[in-house]
């Protein structure tokens, strides 16, 4: 519940930071590259690591299921749909407020248990967003580590809101994974 409250605060902060006319309030996703061309940007990196009660193989199956974020990012992501499979697959995440984020899978490395994806449409304060998730085996293999890094640029003055938003997303997924593991 703490993560959901935190995420609500993050979304409220984001709404304030972007102002009432921000494109993330519209029903049509904004092409991020177009939004960035007239604004000075700051590089932002969000890095979150969590040890989960799943084997590395179990964690990899979760991370590699590119169309399952509606389960792991609930309630923030209401649904997920995907066009294509493997590299180049495009998923559309419909958020709980009806807005959409579109992301493309750019790396799927089963040997190193790593995926990488980029946002092609979505929030205008997350310019050039690229996310990387890697699964690492823990010595006893009853647990594993998921290492998630998100890198993007945000307009000056909105970098804190961008960081808080993505950190909240990372924490929500890890909280949901921990709850699921505890219920098994």
Write the pLDDT tens digit of every residue in 26-79.
Answer: 333 444 444 445 679 999 999 999 999 999 999 999 999 999 999 999 899 999
pLDDT score of 2 = 38
Residue ranges and CATH numbers for the domains of the chain are 2-20+27-183 (3.30.530.20)
How far lies 80's CA from each of 9, 34, 45, 69, 108, in Å?
Answer: 23, 24, 25, 7, 19
Using CA atoms, how far apart are residues 32 and 91, in angstroms rounded to an integer? 16
Q: Give the pLDDT band (50/70/90) at residue 136.
A: very high
CA distance 109 to 84: 17
Which class for 110: exposed (0-12), middle (13-18), buried (19 or more C-beta within 10 A)? exposed
Whole-structure pTM value = 0.78
User: And the tokens for 102?
Assistant: 């579109």
pLDDT of residue 18: 39
């Amino acid at each position: 519940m703490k993560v959901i409250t935190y995420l609500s605060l993050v979304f409220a902060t984001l709404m304030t930071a972007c102002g009432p006319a921000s494109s993330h309030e519209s029903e049509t996703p904004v092409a991020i590259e177009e939004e960035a061309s007239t604004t000075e940007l700051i590089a932002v990196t969000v890095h979150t690591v969590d040890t989960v009660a799943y084997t590395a193989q179990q964690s990899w199956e979760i991370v590699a299921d590119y169309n399952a974020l509606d389960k792991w990012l609930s309630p923030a992501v209401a649904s997920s749909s995907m066009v294509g499979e493997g590299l180049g697959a495009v998923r559309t995440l419909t958020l709980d407020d009806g807005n959409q984020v579109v992301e493309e899978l750019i790396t799927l490395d089963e040997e190193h248990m790593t995926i990488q994806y980029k946002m092609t449409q979505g929030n205008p304060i997350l310019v050039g967003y690229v996310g990387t998730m890697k699964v690492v085996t823990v010595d006893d293999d009853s647990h594993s580590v998921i290492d998630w890094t998100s890198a993007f640029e945000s307009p000056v003055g909105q970098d804190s809101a961008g960081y808080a938003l993505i950190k909240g997303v990372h924490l929500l997924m890890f909280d949901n994974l921990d709850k699921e593991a505890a219920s098994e």
